[in-house]
Amino acid sequence: MAAKPFDVRRQTGFATMAILCFVVLYLPIGLLVIYSFNQGESIAIWEGFSWRWYVSAWENEQVQAATIRSLIIAFWAALISTSCAVLAALATTRQERFRGYTFVFAMINQPLMVPEIVTAVALLIFFAMIKVQTGYTGLGYLILAHSAFCLPFAYMPIRARLQGMDLNLEQAAMDLYGTPWRVFRRITLPQLWPGILAGAMLAFVISLDDVVITEFVKSAGQDTLPTYMLGQMRRVVTPEVNAISTVLLAISVVMVVAFYFLSRTKKKPTGG
């Protein structure tokens, strides 16, 4: 009698551990969302349903400024990191393996392997030297820092999309004397768009939620929404923070769901 294939779902305690992990992960998030609608000022005592804290956050000028700043930084970081990720993905998938390929791949994905606090301190020192020499203290540093950190998050779905694409169309276009730019614009880019959009959305979400790098790199008066929330929690915690967190959570969920659908590859129909 043939042995049954290994199935982790049949292992003793698997269901219990899975349920426990989901409870630990999602119960705090669920409580955060629930208490964002609390009428009172406590984040632990329910005093009735109300939109009070959403209205308060909407009318808070500091929240408005931090939100606009966060969106500007996330937009430019997503644009820059995705543009660089497209070039890097083309260089590492449409070329034969070259000397130093592994090193280049590791450098692109360095932010994923190195602790974020190390990257933040390194960027702080680097940008501090530039600030001393130039006197510039604008948002450019945050945009560049977020772009560098978001690069691998944009690179991975774009690279995966390129690896899953059929090369026959590109090779046929080149056989018909298409220039590299024309082949890319007419053949590669239309097929690559889902991966580019998925990478851009993932980079946008990562930038929008970042705290550590932002806290180290930002200058005075450059709070983003996450760093503003961190500052508020150091002073006094009210359900307004829950309301802002819930909105960020909703944005992140929408972006991740869209990323999932865009990054899926359609199965080719099999001929009968």
pLDDT of residue 169: 76
pLDDT of residue 264: 65
pLDDT of residue 272: 41
Contact 114, 102 (CB under 8 A): no
In sequence order, what are the residues at sequence separation of 6 or more whose Cβ sits closer than 8 angstroms to the Cβ of residue 13? none
pLDDT of residue 270: 44
141-176: buried (b, 16+ CB within 10 Å) or exposed (e) per residue? bbbbbbbbbbbbbbbbbbbbbbeebeeeebeebeee
Contact 186, 171 (CB under 8 A): no
Q: What are the structure tokens assigned to 116, written together?
A: 């974020």
Q: What are the structure tokens assigned to 106, written together?
A: 């590791």
Contact 109, 155 (CB under 8 A): yes
pLDDT of residue 92: 84
pLDDT of residue 25: 87
Q: Which of 28, 26, 52 is nearest to 38 (CA)?
A: 52
pLDDT of residue 97: 72
CATH class of 66-164+193-263: mainly alpha
Where does residue 258 rank: exposed (0-12), middle (13-18), buried (19+ CB within 10 A)? middle
Longest CA pairwise span in the chain (Å): 77
DSSP bridge partners of 38: 49
pLDDT of residue 13: 78
Please give the average pLDDT of every successive group of 10 residues along the chain, which has 272 residues.
66 83 90 88 84 89 90 94 91 77 82 88 92 89 94 90 78 75 80 87 90 91 88 79 88 80 56 42
